[in-house]
Amino acid sequence: MRDPALPTATEPAPQGGVAVQLRGVTKRYRSGAAALGPLDLAVGRGEFVSLLGPSGCGKSTALRLIAGLAQPSGGTVELAAHPAARRGEHAIGFVFQEPTLMPWSSVRGNVALPLQLAHAGRAEIAARVDDALARVGLRDAAEALPRQLSGGMKMRVSLARALVTDPDILLMDEPFAALDEITRFRLNDDLLTLWRELRKTVVFVTHSVFEAVYLSQRVIVMTPKPGRIAAEFRVSAEEPRGAAFRSSAAYAARCREVSDALARATEPA
Catalog residues that contact Mg ion under the rule CB under 5 A. 60
Residue 224 beta carbon to Mg ion: minimum distance, rounded to whole angstroms: 12
Residues 216-245 that bind ligand ADP (CB under 6 A): none
Report the first-to-last Cα separation within the chain, whole angstroms: 21
The CA distances from residue 258 to 30, 51, 95, 142, 169, in Å, are 33, 12, 24, 40, 25
State CA 23 to chain mean position distance. 19
Least distance (Å) between residue 107 CB and ligand ADP: 28
Question: Judged by CB under 6 A, does residue 35 bind ligand ADP?
Answer: yes
Q: Does 32 bind ligand ADP (CB under 6 A)?
A: yes
110: partner contacted, choices Mg ion, ligand ADP, none (Cβ within 5-8 A by kind): none
Q: Residue 231: name the closest of 240, 239, 222 by CA.
A: 222
Under 8 Å between Cβ of 218 and 177: no
Q: Which is nearer to ligand ADP, 160 or 231 (CB)?
A: 231
Tell me how far, at minimum, the Cβ of 210 lies from ligand ADP, in Å.
18
Q: Which does 57 bind (CB under 5 to 8 A by kind): ligand ADP, Mg ion, none?
A: ligand ADP
33 or 84: whose CB is closer to ligand ADP?
33
Q: Is 61 in the site for ligand ADP (CB under 6 A)?
A: yes
DSSP string, 34-55: EEEEEEEEEEETT-EEEEE--T
By CB under 6 A, residue 57 contacts ligand ADP:
yes
Of 132 and 162, which CB lies nearer to ligand ADP in the complex structure? 162
One-letter amino acid at 211 equals: E
Binding status of residue 29 toward ligand ADP by CB under 6 A: yes
> Which 143-202 positions form the footprint of ligand ADP (CB under 6 A)?
none
Is 36 in contact with 61 (CB distance < 8 Å)?
Answer: yes
Asked if 125 and 160 count as a contact pair (C-beta separation under 8 A), the reply is: no
Strands 48-52 and 218-223: parallel
What is d(CA 124, CA 197) in angstroms, rounded to the nearest whole number? Answer: 21
Residue 88 has what DSSP assignment? Answer: G
User: Residue 71 CB, nearest distance to Mg ion (Å)?
Assistant: 18
The one-letter amino acid at 2: R
Q: Which stretch binds ligand ADP (CB under 6 A): 6-14, 31-39, 74-82, 184-192?
A: 31-39
Binding piece for ligand ADP, criterion CB under 6 A, among 12-20, 50-58, 82-90, 189-197: 50-58
Cα 131 from Cα 152, distance rounded (Å) = 19
Binding positions for ligand ADP, rule: CB under 6 A: 29, 31-32, 35, 53, 55-61
